[in-house]
Amino acid sequence: MLDVKAGDEQSFALLLHRYRSPLVNFLYRMVRNREQAEDLAQEVFLRVYRAREDYVPSAKFTTWLFRIATNLALNSVRDNRYQRMEISLDAPVTADAEDGDEKTLDVAEKQPNIEQHLVEDVQRKMIRHAIEKLPEKQRAAVLLHKYQELDYGEISKILECSESALKSLLFRAYETLRVELAPLVAQRARQ
Amino acid sequence: MSCSRMENKILGYVDGRLKEGERLEMEKHLSTCGVCQLRVNEFRSVHALLDELPMIEPSAAFDLRVQARVAAEPAKQSWWAWFMPSPRVVLAASMLLLGTVWIGRYSRSDPPQIDQADIPVLENYDVISSFEPLTELSQAEPADDADQQSQDM
């Protein structure tokens, strides 16, 4: 980032290459819409570029990056919630377009373990929905902890809370997930 | 250690982020508490289940879109660039400045000198000073004026 600050355009391209996938995945799991996640990720990179001259390396770059991303995601989730409230209940029910993004099953492939694929598909949907049902701050904490593997100090800075508050937040989130995913948890325990 | 004190450390224990002392303390508690041991196993299962969500790849055009937006950003100008307006504004400001200087210059010039010969009173000063009828006029008496005023009242 210091090279980007010094005006090195090539370094910005490297940052983009390195962080685009983690960012898009984090935002996708926050907002549950691929197109929106990519738009938000673009906005994050644009803000990083705009702020390059004012960047002070007082914290890790990833902390700063995910702080921008988390704030954008939380705002977007709140905006979406208000938008959904305005949608008529009479609107036709459509299939969840986002489910298609992660589908690996293709019947045309005629793989022998189709049943296994179906089971896995159902499990993935359960996990996704369980994460989606978490309050947004708990969801962000779980995603940053589990998928970005940031330490407690970094996550607490991103979410602007103390480390002890973060640990409570994560505990409550895992408790909710444990209850929501109880059948899968029990199944794993039997294995 | 009580179970309530354990709560916030279970996840750290599951993902191996506890300090050595905390980890040993946790293991000591787990060896005597079935409830917390069960909770640890369940959290491990949840942790593992979360791994089953596949990653998505950003679309092929993602980098291009970011780079296009970055390229469209206006270049940062230095502070003095704010004082570099368009040529028309520069011309108008220059004209205004010149006009102000021109008006200021004329308003500060000395008033025209009047020749004393143009003043007829001064020309006849000697005549007036020795004009006899003026010397024959009686001088005003302030005491009489005061008496007159008191009578009027």
> In the numeric block, which tokens belong to residue A158?
């991103």
Cβ distance A34 to B42 less than 8 Å, yes or no, reads no
Of A17-21, A106-110, B20-24, the least confident: A106-110
Query: Any idea which of A86-90, B4-8, B71-75 has the lowest mean pLDDT?
Result: A86-90
Best A68, A103, A127 residue to mutate vs chain B (most B CBs within 10 Å): A127
Quote the minimal CA–CA distance from B47 to chain A in Å: 8
d(CA A152, CA A164): 9
Average pLDDT score over residue span A124-148: 93
Judge whether A1 and A15 are in contact, CB under 8 Å. yes
Between A88 and B6, the higher pLDDT residue: B6
**pLDDT per position as a tens digit, A36-92:** 999 999 999 999 988 887 777 767 889 999 999 999 999 998 887 666 655 544 455
Which chain A positions have a beta carbon within 8 Å of B79's beta carbon? none
Average pLDDT over residues A163-182: 94
DSSP B136-151: TSPPP-HHHHHHHHHH
- In a domain, residue B55? The reply is no
Where is pLDDT greater, at B111 or B74? B74
* Alpha carbon of A46: minimum distance to chain B alpha carbons (Å): 6
Q: Considering the entire predicted model, what is its pTM?
A: 0.67
CB contact at 8 A, A40 and A72: yes
- Asked if residue B42 belongs to a domain, the reply is yes
Residues 147-166 of A with CB under 8 A from B: 147, 151-152, 164
pLDDT at A190: 73
In a domain, B110, yes or no: no
**Chain A contact for B77 (CB, 8 A cutoff):** no
Please state the domain count of chain B: 1
Residues 6+ apart with CB under 8 A from A103: A121
A34 Cβ neighbours under 8 A, 6+ residues apart: A28, A98, A101, B56
Q: Report the pLDDT averaged over residues B56-77.
A: 84
- Candidates A52, A54, A123, A177: best to mutate against B (most CBs of B within 10 A) is A177
Of residues A24, A42, A188, nearest to B69 (C-beta): A42
Q: Is the pLDDT of residue A127 over 60?
A: yes
Q: Which of A81-85, A106-110, B9-13, B114-118 has the lowest mean pLDDT?
A: A106-110
Instruction: Please report residues of A whose CB lies closer than 8 A to that of B7.
Output: 168, 171
Cβ of residue A41 closer than 8 Å to a chain B Cβ: yes
Kindly state whether B27 is in contact with chain A, defined as any CB-CB distance less than 8 angstroms: no
**Whole domain around residue B11: which residue ranges?**
3-50
Residue A173 has pLDDT above 60, yes or no: yes
Closest by alpha carbon to A28, among A42, A16, A43, A38? A38
Q: Quick one: pLDDT band at residue B65, thresholds 50, 70, 90?
A: very high
Q: CA nearest B61 in A: which residue?
A: A38
Residue B8 within any structural domain of the chain = yes
Q: Which of A136, A144, A133 is nearest to A177 (CA)?
A: A133
Chain B residues with CB under 8 Å of A4 CB are: none
A167 touches chain B (CB under 8 A): yes
* B62, part of any domain: no
B13 occurs within a structural domain: yes
pLDDT band at A93 (very low <50, low <70, confident <90, very high): very low
- Which residues lie closer than 8 Å to B134 by C-beta, 6 or more apart? B128
User: Across A97-171, where does the E strand assignment appear?
Assistant: none
Give the model confidence (pLDDT) of B25-52 as tens digits: 999 999 999 999 999 999 999 999 999 8
Q: pLDDT category, A182, cuts 50, 70, 90?
A: very high
Q: Report pLDDT digits (tens) over A17-38.
A: 999 999 999 999 999 889 999 9
pLDDT confidence tier of residue B137, bands split at 50, 70 and 90:
low
Whether residue B73 and residue A49 make contact (CB cut-off 8 A), yes or no, is yes
Close Cβ partners of B85 (under 8 Å, ≥ 6 residues apart): none
A64 shares contact with chain B (CB less than 8 Å): no
pLDDT of residue B48: 92
CB < 8 Å to A28, chain B: 56
Touching check for A55 and chain B: CB below 8 Å?
A: no
Q: Averaged over A141-149, what is the pLDDT? A: 93
Closest residue of chain B to A49, computed from CA coordinates: B70
Residue B105 identity (one-letter amino acid): R
B114 is a domain residue:
no
Q: Which domains does chain A have, with CATH numbers?
A: 1-95 (1.10.1740.10), 103-191 (1.10.10.10)
Q: For chain B, what percent of residues have pLDDT higher than 70?
A: 62
Residue B15 lies in a domain: yes
Positive or negative: CA dihedral A190, B3, B8, B10: negative
> What number is the average pLDDT over the span A100-126?
69
Residue A146 and residue A29 in contact, taking contact as beta carbons nearer than 8 Å: no
